[in-house]
Amino acid sequence: MDHFVSPSLLAADFGNLEKDILMVNRSQADWLHLDIMDGVFVPNISFGFPVIECIKKIAEKPLDIHLMIIDPDRYLTRFRDAGAYMLTVQYEACTHLHRTVTEIRDLGMKAGVALNPHTPVSHLRNVLPYIDMVLIMTVNPGFGGQSFIMESFNKIAELRKLIDSGGYKVLIEVDGGIDTKNAAKLIESGVNVLVAGSSVFNSDDPEATIKTLKATKPYDAISVSI
């Protein structure tokens, strides 16, 4: 299966979001990634429902929404109504994770679960049958522009083995420090979805960078230095 590319709007120009969203519309990106932060679960605040609703009116790509908030259950219906396609919650923020992901699916969205760098993938063993995607955070969540945590490769490989051994149809997404230099090795490791923020929106030609990420092949990893 070809991998997906999901540019992260957190790194876009907030003074001209429409311009950057239209660029993503034109590009070979598959999804548009939105990081929702509450200033409690992570030490940063991003954007809320009015902004998401405006983004949805412009965006032609499915909205890949990652909730870095406490008590996400309060807002699941509102995120559905705001236009979420994939709704990902943090494992560490959910007291009753099975109930949360089941409700996400019942609301008609795809359900994802994100793991912080310190959280073992083994914690998801019993929830894999009920979700569509696992998001491995390859940086500590909260801010863009951080360096990729190299231990993430071992974590991805462990998760890939867990998913494949169970025969689950679950995507692996990665977010944090993703660029054209490590994309091939990540795909080789079993990643299905690349979230790229700073490496896309801070590049000289964001649309070309997305094209490069989309065209990356796993066998390229042999010659890539990270």
Residues 18, 22, 28, 32, CA torsion sign? positive
Q: How many separate domains does the chain show?
A: 1
Domain span at residue 57 reads 4-223
Choosing from 20, 30, 64, 175, the catalytic residue is 175
| pTM, rounded to two decimals | 0.94
Q: d(Cα 100, Cα 89) in Å, to the nearest integer? A: 8
Q: d(Cα 185, Cα 189) in Å, to the nearest integer? A: 6
73 labelled catalytic: no
pLDDT single digits (tens) 162-181: 999 999 999 999 999 999 99
Choosing from 35, 38, 132, 179, the catalytic residue is 35
The domain that holds 67 is classified in CATH as: 3.20.20.70
Residue 144's pLDDT is what?
A: 67
User: 191: which 2 tokens?
Assistant: 């990643």
- pLDDT (average), residues 70-80: 98
* C-alpha separations of 82 from 20, 51, 66, 204, 223 in Å: 19, 9, 13, 31, 42
106 labelled catalytic: no
